[in-house]
Structure 1
């Protein structure tokens, strides 16, 4: 507790209360962004977004409760304690990526380190509000004091969330956003030293902590990029030639001799060594089948921002228009501008027949009234809940509604070997949406055996007729490297038990209200590859 006469000698009571509340606004901003940063860091380094956000946020909130409880034992030197808390947050917030990335190559328990960091930050944040409220009680009645402090903390949290989503993550990334947070906490400590320095019980100790935190901040800032790159590189077998954090994902391109690998959030998307074994089966069966019914084709590609599916579509002279819908503008910009991707996609995204749209695939289908002769779904695997809306029965019903008569839909359908139940779930969900399906698979060495599902409106064809129709196309006339008629026939031959009635019986349809696909995918034997 501190006395009004002491404070009045340096700053008027209204001004003191205003300074306290502005500082709480700043710490509220920094606190919420710290939670988001640690949750995002855990997701990127450990995977499983739902689990990591749940664990980090829950542990931080629990630790905040512990911090609030501990604050009752600070009965003197409240301002001193507040400054020390801010100095501690300076080091912990700024040091989170340095510790996580720096230790990533050396430990198998990175989750425990990130969770411990989260609890440490949460503990200090939990101390902030009670200490600030007690510091402000000299100037305001209890009702106004608590309301004012909490109000500014929550307002700061709102601004922090907006800044993290639209400025911090896409522009500063996971290296410099924590540095900015540490700077905010350090400046708050400095303001308290400046405004209330004569009221501190131990001013020398507070100044020493402030200087030490500032030196640590500068030291980490000068090395954070090297440490993050070191930790980043340890996650990949080959040297990184390009890396960027966007608003939606981390894009990494690696090189091994003359070949390149593209990763999104640590998950391999393609290798130039064998990507045609994926893209040719994805594209050409649907295009040939649709072209047999009409001379001019309108093609919609959902995902595939790297431009490789577009490259294959452009091999068909009947194609009049291609619309590519990808969530991340940075991905399509990279595909249009990076020399490696431009060479691999053969300048596909510069073709005048191609139009780019950026946004959610399901939302695009819902909002468009156009009909398409071919829809290709080239989205990432359903390894997170935010992708479930692009693999559920309502999504496939939307896609069916957007197919022109005799139109064809093809989707990638994850690995039938490493996640057979996820493959079965996609097949069953498409059937439930009113589609007749033709499942098939191909060996892609960098990915393993990979699955696809071609489909048409079940009201226009049955599955045996669909298979005969697709297999009757002239695959040998295509200028492809992998796909011909014999190769595609072999792709349609699945294991005996893959879609057997007893194997399909226990599989549920993936619905928005019950997203079972994520569970099927997560329990796949991915560690075997």
Structure 2
């Protein structure tokens, strides 16, 4: 590898990371996987030339996709994670003692094994938790065949290119909806809307016919250039995005977990969308 890695997600805007040390660089059965060390961001994972996660700021992404819907719901016991091979999402979900079972569906077993080896600061011991049901399978196929119901489904996918493309389709979201318990929530990774507007518009165009409440919320993750990141939000339980602050504070206190980004105040504010995102949602 060169001493610099260029982020290849956006054709006309590039960000670069200096490589201090390469830990892994090879093709898996499904994609090219690189794990390297950067002086500022720590350990970094990239798939097919696109940065997926960094040691320095992964907590923002994982906390907001995991804790926000869990605290909004208030009684999550069964969770399905589609993707998330680095284990960071799994680790955050399992912090909740009320969660009884987590099914995690990941296409690429190599991502999991290398994350356990090189990214233990992200996944911790999550893969050893007895509440985990790990399934190595295409997420789209799993959802099509799934007969189990979940309180929360988290789609922790790559961008809609390569293996992750099928996780941004109408059929996939419809299959997810059919696997939600009454009042369940579906949340998705939808990129940076300032640069990837079509990604968010497409997902919400599929959400609106099937969910009573379909919108997005935001969080700023420094690794991903272009401003705040959007997370799709779909549920048939209207009002879950508007849980009063005092209720969120009570649930957060009762959970007795430590977070570095998520707070009940941030939770409420995440649904306050700037004008250009409101237009995309509408």
TM more than 0.5: yes
Is 1:492 the equivalent of 2:266? no
Give the CA deviation at 1:452: 0.4
Quick one: structure 1 residues 350 and 392, their matched pair in 2 at CA, closer, same or farther if it must change by over 3 Å?
same
Distance in 1 (CA, whole Å) between partners of 2:8 and 2:212 is 33
Distance in 2 (CA, whole Å) between partners of 1:388 and 1:247 is 17
Aligned to 1:260: 43
Is 1:407 the equivalent of 2:184? yes
Matches within 5 A, 1:321-400: 321-336=101-116, 338=117, 340-384=118-162, 386-400=163-177
Distance in 2 (CA, whole Å) between partners of 1:324 and 1:381 is 18
Distance in 2 (CA, whole Å) between partners of 1:490 and 1:441 is 9
Give the CA deviation at 1:333: 1.7
Is 1:285 the equivalent of 2:72? no
Distance in 2 (CA, whole Å) between partners of 1:282 and 1:473 is 16
Distance in 1 (CA, whole Å) between partners of 2:138 and 2:101 is 20
Give the CA deviation at 1:476: 4.7
Is 1:273 the equivalent of 2:52? no
Distance in 2 (CA, whole Å) between partners of 1:288 and 1:309 is 15
Indicate the structure (1 or 2) with the bigger Cα radius of gyration: 1
Give the CA deviation at 1:250: 1.1
Alpha-carbon contact 1:276-1:482 (below 8 Å) kept: yes
Distance in 2 (CA, whole Å) between partners of 1:394 and 1:473 is 33
Alpha-carbon contact 1:437-1:455 (below 8 Å) kept: yes
Is 1:240 the equivalent of 2:240? no
Give the CA deviation at 1:305: 0.6
Give the CA deviation at 1:268: 0.5
Give the CA deviation at 1:362: 1.1
Runs of 4+ in 1 over 2 A off after TM superposition: 45-48, 386-389, 432-435, 469-478
Distance in 2 (CA, whole Å) between partners of 1:236 and 1:243 is 15
Distance in 1 (CA, whole Å) between partners of 2:122 and 2:176 is 29
For residue 229 of structure 2, give the secondary structure of its aligned residue in structure 1. Answer: strand
What does the per-residue CA deviation read over 1:75-105, in whole Å, with 9 as the maximum and x for residues that have no partner?
xxxxxxxxxxxxxxxxxxxxxxxxxxxxxxx
Distance in 1 (CA, whole Å) between partners of 2:30 and 2:7 is 17
Aligned to 1:468: 242
Alpha-carbon contact 1:249-1:265 (below 8 Å) kept: yes
Distance in 2 (CA, whole Å) between partners of 1:387 and 1:417 is 21
What does the per-residue CA deviation read over 1:174-211, in whole Å, with 9 as the maximum and x for residues that have no partner?
xxxxxxxxxxxxxxxxxxxxxxxxxxxxxxxxxxxxxx
Alpha-carbon contact 2:7-2:49 (below 8 Å) kept: no
Quick one: structure 1 residues 270 and 504, their matched pair in 2 at CA, closer, same or farther if it must change by over 3 Å?
closer
Distance in 2 (CA, whole Å) between partners of 1:470 and 1:355 is 33
Aligned to 1:28: none
Give the CA deviation at 1:504: 5.9
Distance in 2 (CA, whole Å) between partners of 1:279 and 1:470 is 23
Quick one: structure 1 residues 498 and 47, their matched pair in 2 at CA, closer, same or farther if it must change by over 3 Å?
closer
More strand by share: 2
Distance in 2 (CA, whole Å) between partners of 1:435 and 1:393 is 16
For residue 243 of structure 2, give the secondary structure of its aligned residue in structure 1. Answer: helix
Distance in 1 (CA, whole Å) between partners of 2:7 and 2:222 is 24
Instruction: Give the gaps of 5 or more residues in structure 2.
Output: 1-5, 10-15
More helix by share: 1
Quick one: structure 1 residues 392 and 455, their matched pair in 2 at CA, closer, same or farther if it must change by over 3 Å?
same
Q: Which has the higher contact order (CA 8 A, sep 6+)?
A: 2
For residue 301 of structure 1, give the secondary structure of its aligned residue in structure 2. Answer: strand
Aligned to 1:111: none
For residue 92 of structure 2, give the secondary structure of its aligned residue in structure 1. Answer: helix
Matches within 5 A, 1:165-244: 237-238=18-19, 239-244=21-26
Alpha-carbon contact 1:326-1:360 (below 8 Å) kept: yes
Give the CA deviation at 1:489: 2.4
Aligned to 1:310: 90
Distance in 1 (CA, whole Å) between partners of 2:210 and 2:234 is 11
Alpha-carbon contact 2:216-2:281 (below 8 Å) kept: no
For residue 18 of structure 2, give the secondary structure of its aligned residue in structure 1. Answer: coil
Distance in 2 (CA, whole Å) between partners of 1:320 and 1:346 is 19
Distance in 2 (CA, whole Å) between partners of 1:473 and 1:323 is 25
